[in-house]
Copies of this chain bind each other. A is one copy, B any other.
Amino acid sequence: MVRKTKEDAEITRQRIIDAARELFAEHGVSKTSLDKIAKHADVTRGAVYWHFKNKTELFHAMREQVFLPLIDRIDSTLLSSKNEINPLQRIEGFLIDTVRVLSNDTATRQTYEVLMAKCEYVDEFAEVLQQILNNCDGIVGNIEQVYQEAQQQSLINPSHSPTELAMDTHLFFSGLLHMWVKDSEGSRFRNQAETLIRTHIKLRKK
Contact surface of A with B, Cβ cutoff 8 Å = 26-31, 117-123, 129, 132-133, 136-137, 160, 164-165, 167-168, 170-176, 178-179, 182-183, 188, 196, 199-200, 202-204
Contact = CB atoms under 8 A, between A and B. Distances in A.
Contacts of A178: 174-175, 178
B167 A196 contact: yes
7 shortest interchain CB distances as A-B pairs? A175-B175, A174-B175, A28-B120, A171-B175, A30-B30, A28-B122, A117-B121
Contact of A175 (B30, B121, B172): B172
5 contacts: A26-B122, A117-B129, A118-B120, A168-B203, A173-B175
A27 B122 contact: yes
Of the candidates A132, A165, A176, A202, the one having the most CB atoms from chain B within 10 angstroms of its own CB is A176
Contacts of A182: 121, 129, 132-133
Nearest to A205: B159
Contacts of A119: 120
Given A28-B122, A31-B123, A171 B160 contact: no
A104 to B, nearest CB: 22
A30 B121 CA distance: 11
Given A168-B200, A175-B178, A118 B129 contact: no
Contact of A133 (B170, B188, B196): B188
B164 A171 contact: no
A26 to B, nearest CB: 7
Given A129-B182, A171-B196, A175-B178, A123 B160 contact: no
Contact of A168 (B26, B29, B132, B196): B196
A188 B132 CA distance: 13
B122 A31 contact: yes
Given A133-B183, A168-B196, A174-B178, 9 more contacts: A27-B122, A28-B120, A31-B122, A31-B123, A129-B182, A133-B182, A171-B179, A173-B175, A175-B176
